[in-house]
Amino acid sequence: MIETTELAPGLNVCRIVNGMWQVAGGHGYITPQKAVSEMSQYYDAGLSSWDMADIYGPAEEFFGRFRQKITQSGKEPKNLVGLTKFVPNPGPMSKNFVERAIKMSALRMEVQTIDLVQFHWWDYDDKSYLDALRHLVSLRDDGKIRHIGLTNFDTERMQIMLDNGIEIVSNQVQYSIIDQRPQEQMEQFCKKNKIGLLTYGTLGGGLLSEKFLDTVEPTRADLNTYSLQKYKNMVDTWGDWKLFQKLLVALDEIAKKHQTGIANVATRFVLDKPEVAAVIIGARLGIEQHIEQNKQTFELRLDKDDKTKIDEITKNANDLYAQIGDCGSEYR
């Protein structure tokens, strides 16, 4: 049974969203035709929600080609959801600039109206992000986009947006067994203001898997994707490889108890957080897929003993909120 949730009025998403960051590079060569063809397998399996961005290389174009493939076959793209991002460089944000950027995303995605535009901003000192958001509100009111979300904004900035009358429906942040910073402020804020969390990094780029169980600590050269390198840095900040191995052993025991995998346990752990709407899992289109494995997560139910076992390990880790700051601080 595929789990879905209403992220916003009229916007239902699968609770496991296929992430397309990996098509931007650094994760192996991707053949466009093969990638678009493989998207059909996800869609047919019920994993029909896709996360992308205007800066993720050909991601929006892949989505558009796939959508066109469905419509040209005479079918309606039922349940197909495209969540993209608007990631401009800091600086003055004119209405024309924002409108043109959103128009280009819609053209690449082959849609008249974008389901959700998630806004990211690199520099909080530049208050132009509020101008950009006001222009997005205007585009939403004009029917160019359905809903406005965020990517990697902290709680303080989200409050400023609400104080300025800007309605947002989601925030995409890093959330995993390793990185539980959203629990500090973000979750309470989102609950109060009915904002859903879309989470990434939940599998640590693949580190939270049997592949790294009972292994010596890898060097940077051993980690062959940007994701693995990125999240190994997060593990180093969280604790050390010895503690990480203890965590993997515990997760493996839980997985075997439920006849599933470590990745499923790690995903279910985050999905069970009350303000998490969906988890984004990267799709290495045309290279590697985990469709059936991902679907197994929906059958998994962690009990109190499972969560206690995980907490017994993570309580010995460093406080990432104290070391890094609120969600998204690592990008600024």
Q: What pLDDT digit, counting tens, does each position of 254-303 carry?
A: 999 999 999 999 999 999 999 999 999 988 675 667 899 999 999 999 99
Q: Mean pLDDT of all residues in the chain? A: 94
User: Which range has the worst mean pLDDT, 188-192, 228-232, 243-247?
Assistant: 228-232
Report whether 36 contacts 172 (CB < 8 A): no
Name which of 186, 132, 139 is nearest 164 in CA terms.
Answer: 132
Q: State how far the Cα of 82 lies from the Cα of 235, in Å rounded to an integer.
A: 31
User: Where are the chain's structural domains?
Assistant: 11-204+261-290
CB half-sphere exposure, 28, CA atoms < 13 A: 13
pLDDT (0 to 100) of residue 65: 95
Q: What pLDDT digit, counting tens, does each position of 22-59 carry?
A: 776 555 556 778 888 889 999 999 999 999 999 988 99
Q: State how far the Cα of 306 lies from the Cα of 310, in Å rounded to an integer.
A: 6
Q: State how far the Cα of 267 lies from the Cα of 276, in Å rounded to an integer.
A: 11
- The verdict on pTM exceeding 0.85 is yes
In three-state secondary structure terms, 210 is helix
Please count the other Cβ atoms lying within 10 Å of the Cβ belonging to residue 6.
Answer: 11
Q: Read off the tokens for 32.
A: 């466009």
Give the total residue count for the chain.
332
pLDDT (0 to 100) of residue 30: 65
pLDDT (0 to 100) of residue 28: 54
Q: Which CATH number fits domain 11-204+261-290: 3.40.1390.30, 3.30.300.20, 3.30.2130.10, 3.20.20.100?
A: 3.20.20.100
Give Dmax (Cα) for the chain: 56
